[in-house]
Amino acid sequence: MFVWEDLRAWATPLLSLAALVISWISPRSRARQDLFERLKDKVEKIDARLSHVEVEIEHLPDKDVAHRLEMAIARLDGRMETLDERLKPVAAMAGRLHEMALEEARHGRG
């Protein structure tokens, strides 16, 4: 019976202490839960953005395709230079014909 009386005497202070500890821990738990929820939402948004970026990256050319495109552009550049060289005499002839037409127009009027 001695144990029950001692327990009864300590029950009220122990329950008060337990209530104090629980009330002290609860706001921190809620704050941590809120923080956890915010972090969870943030991670979900980042995951969605990452998934979107991954889908977009799949459509981009890989290393081999980019190299082939670079080589094709280099070949086109070479062809353009060749065409430029071939058109220079044509441009010179057009210039001479233009000058000749201007001279004829001047002499024909004068």
Predicted TM-score (pTM) of the model is 0.43
Residue 7: left if φ>0, alpha if ψ -120 to 50, beta else—which one?
Answer: alpha
Domain that holds residue 24: 1-60
Per-residue pLDDT at 8: 72
- Give the model confidence (pLDDT) of 57-105 as tens digits: 888 889 999 999 999 999 999 999 999 999 999 999 999 999 999 999 9
Per-residue pLDDT at 109: 66
Distances in Å between the Cα of 29 and the Cα atoms of 19, 21, 35, 36, 47 are: 15, 12, 10, 10, 26
Per-residue pLDDT at 102: 92
Number of domains in the chain: 2
Q: 72 and 29 in one domain?
A: no
Q: 54 and 2 in one domain?
A: yes
What one-character DSSP code corresponds to residue 60?
S
Structural tokens at position 74:
């280099």
> Where is 18: in which H helix or E strand?
helix 2-58
Contacts for 61 with CB less than 8 Å, ≥ 6 apart: 69
Q: 77 and 53 in one domain?
A: no
Instruction: Tell me the average pLDDT across 37-45.
Output: 94
Residue 42 has pLDDT above 70, yes or no: yes
Q: 2 and 55 in one domain?
A: yes
